[in-house]
Structure 1
Amino acid sequence: MAGAYDDRDGWIWMDGTLVPWREAQVHVLTHALHYASSVFEGERCYGGRIFKGVEHSRRLRRSAELLDMEIPWTVEEIEAAKYEMLKANGWTDAYVRAVAWRGAGDDMGVSARRNPVRLAVAGWEWGNYYGDAKMKGAQLDISKWCRPDPRTIPCEAKAAGLYMICTMSKHAAEAKGCSDALMMDYRGYVAEATGANVFFVKDGAVHTPLPDCFLNGLTRQTVIGLLREKGIAVHERHISPTEMAGFEQCWLTGTAAEVTPVARIGDFRFEVGALAQEMVRSYEALVRA
């Protein structure tokens, strides 16, 4: 499948019904368009099975609750919708996007309690998020934007509005020839990339930022589990940017990114080393098991 995302053949599940792709539309006065009242999930289906699909559906509902929304579909119903969409499109390997939002209704202002909460599930066939970076290592810029204080945002929610600075950071990175950007947090510690968590290696141990002001990704949690099964020490902690000079390897994790080695972050360089390559293989084997 190729072409603009609003002009494709296929089916999208919306509010309980499969809708032809080009007809899956919302009104211009949809509350989410004006006030960012939207949450979403990114998932991958491998060989007909969505990896950690139930966990993603649970997080979608939890994210909505954190934004004071209640999704009127259960986890089981959301799971059924995903597979209905995949079957209708004839996909066994695909990226899956579930999104819930406040629609158009009786309210059009900051408050919108009378507006319906809607749900859609779409998908598309998607290869490596960072192109050939799994072999060569991704090139990252360092963003001028920081992950905010958790007292200012619902940092445990996968909410659309929280990605505004991610889009700006990634655009700035791409303008410099990079594929992504690393963001610090509001205290100046290393946080995450625009859509992926980050890991570093030093002296055989792994170090990763403590997710106390950004999303604790499901892929992040999976990779930590894989590392510990291999007997590799994992330190979840606050990491100063200056420490990157002493790290030997680095990789990103996320549903889209999967496990992607990093060759450079700003002026800091890393080897696409044995452990990074092993984690690429281990994660691939797990999701396709």
Structure 2
Amino acid sequence: MSGYDNRDGVIWMDGALVPWRDARVHLLTHALHYASSVFEGERAYNGKIFKSLEHSERLRRSASMIDFEIPWTVQQIEDAKARILDASGLKDAYVRAVAWRGSGEDMGVASARNPVRLAVAAWEWGAYYGEAKMKGAKLDISRWKRPDPATAPSQAKAAGLYMICTMSKHAAEAKGCSDAMMFDYRGYVAEATGANIFFVRDGEVHTPLADCFLNGITRQTVIGLLKEKGIAVHERHIEPGELEAFEQCWLTGTAAEVTPVGQIGAYSFEVGALTRDIAQTYEKLVRA
């Protein structure tokens, strides 16, 4: 497969459809040096982006959290996504919207005079964890922790917050794992590098309280589905020592969808009935 810089098709950039290979930015783009960038990962099913509006709203909200304003309204972002899907001819696709501070008069930490850019791309992307989607992912335990909200805007889907996620996932893959689970700055269970995490014990679901990491749109959707089924969901701080007592585990995210977990470090989990049921229910919902 060609690299992501060398594909056919078009990318929406600042209001125009640009040939894929020509969608470029300058070397002195502020975001490249200082991570002044936010993004969304979305999936289209049968030509419709699942919870598209919520993603567009979050994109603008994330930008505000890292101190810039996207010069496109939510509706204009929606229109851009619809346009790129139509131009690409894709029905089932991954959609990436990204906004960033570009190159301009400023090239230090401050960048208030630089223009804010926006782009949307779409491509075909299968199961994020490959065969783990059915068999259960194997997770490493990261040495990096999700930061204190007083040190980083944890509810922004901001590029800079993913640096430790990249390092954690690389370390996990080097050990033959699909991903890594991260603790938070207090030592509680937090999430995987790009997905939220759920556990099952005695027919009830436990998931870390999203008070220092992104409260994912898929996470919120799955919590709603579980409650509709009458299943108790406990959003709370989870101690590492509790992992041994959990019976099932799964990850949620736009890319991950609902992916069962078979192992985290030395702890094993069954790909049980509740895990399979919620994965199937989610799949039906997004394709409804």
Q: Which residue of 1 aligns with 2:58?
A: 59
* TM-align CA RMSD: 0.4
Alignment of 1:110 with 2:122, yes or no, is no
- Report deviation, 1:133: 1.1
Alignment of 1:169 with 2:168, yes or no, is yes
SS of aligned partner of 1:42: strand
- Report deviation, 1:134: 2.1
Aligned pairs for 1:228-267 (under 5 A) are: 228-267=227-266
- Report deviation, 1:3: 1.2
Alignment of 1:121 with 2:157, yes or no, is no
TM-score for both structures, normalised by structure 2: 1.00
What CA distance in whole angstroms lies between the structure 2 residues aligned with 1:3 and 1:219? 30
SS of aligned partner of 1:130: coil
- Report deviation, 1:132: 1.0
Partner amino acid, structure 1, of 2:46 = G
- Report deviation, 1:76: 0.4
- Report deviation, 1:123: 1.1
Q: Which residue of 2 aligns with 1:32?
A: 31
Partner amino acid, structure 2, of 1:32 = A
What CA distance in whole angstroms lies between the structure 1 residues aligned with 2:101 and 2:277? 42
Partner amino acid, structure 2, of 1:226 = L
SS of aligned partner of 1:184: strand
Partner amino acid, structure 1, of 2:81 = K
Q: Which residue of 2 aligns with 1:209?
A: 208
SS of aligned partner of 1:129: coil
SS of aligned partner of 1:73: coil
What CA distance in whole angstroms lies between the structure 2 residues aligned with 1:79 and 1:92? 16
Alignment of 1:197 with 2:196, yes or no, is yes
1:177-218 CA-partner distances (Å, limit 9, x unpaired): 000000000000000000000000000000000000000000
Alignment of 1:131 with 2:150, yes or no, is no
What CA distance in whole angstroms lies between the structure 1 residues aligned with 2:65 and 2:134? 38
Partner amino acid, structure 1, of 2:153 = P
1:39-88 CA-partner distances (Å, limit 9, x unpaired): 00000000010000000000000000001100000000000000101111
What CA distance in whole angstroms lies between the structure 2 residues aligned with 1:131 and 1:107? 42
Identity of aligned residues (%): 76
Q: Which residue of 2 aligns with 1:15?
A: 14
- Report deviation, 1:32: 0.2
SS of aligned partner of 2:220: helix
What CA distance in whole angstroms lies between the structure 1 residues aligned with 2:165 and 2:123? 22
What CA distance in whole angstroms lies between the structure 2 residues aligned with 1:120 and 1:263? 37
What CA distance in whole angstroms lies between the structure 1 residues aligned with 2:241 and 2:93? 38
What CA distance in whole angstroms lies between the structure 1 residues aligned with 2:53 and 2:276? 28
Q: Which residue of 1 aligns with 2:270?
A: 271
Q: Which residue of 2 aligns with 1:70?
A: 69
What CA distance in whole angstroms lies between the structure 2 residues aligned with 1:9 and 1:29? 26
What CA distance in whole angstroms lies between the structure 2 residues aligned with 1:193 and 1:3? 28
Q: Which residue of 1 aligns with 2:153?
A: 154
What CA distance in whole angstroms lies between the structure 1 residues aligned with 2:206 and 2:250? 11
Partner amino acid, structure 2, of 1:25 = R
Partner amino acid, structure 2, of 1:265 = I
What CA distance in whole angstroms lies between the structure 2 residues aligned with 1:191 and 1:8? 36
1:226-247 CA-partner distances (Å, limit 9, x unpaired): 0000000000000001100000
Runs (4+) off by over 4 Å:
none
What CA distance in whole angstroms lies between the structure 2 residues aligned with 1:174 and 1:133? 13
What CA distance in whole angstroms lies between the structure 2 residues aligned with 1:118 and 1:243? 44
Long gaps (5+) in structure 2: none
Partner amino acid, structure 2, of 1:91 = L
How many residues align? The count is 288
What CA distance in whole angstroms lies between the structure 2 residues aligned with 1:102 and 1:71? 9
1:93-132 CA-partner distances (Å, limit 9, x unpaired): 1000000000000111000100000000011100000011
What CA distance in whole angstroms lies between the structure 1 residues aligned with 2:267 and 2:70? 43
- Report deviation, 1:135: 1.6
What CA distance in whole angstroms lies between the structure 2 residues aligned with 1:10 and 1:58? 26
SS of aligned partner of 1:195: coil
What CA distance in whole angstroms lies between the structure 2 residues aligned with 1:123 and 1:30? 22
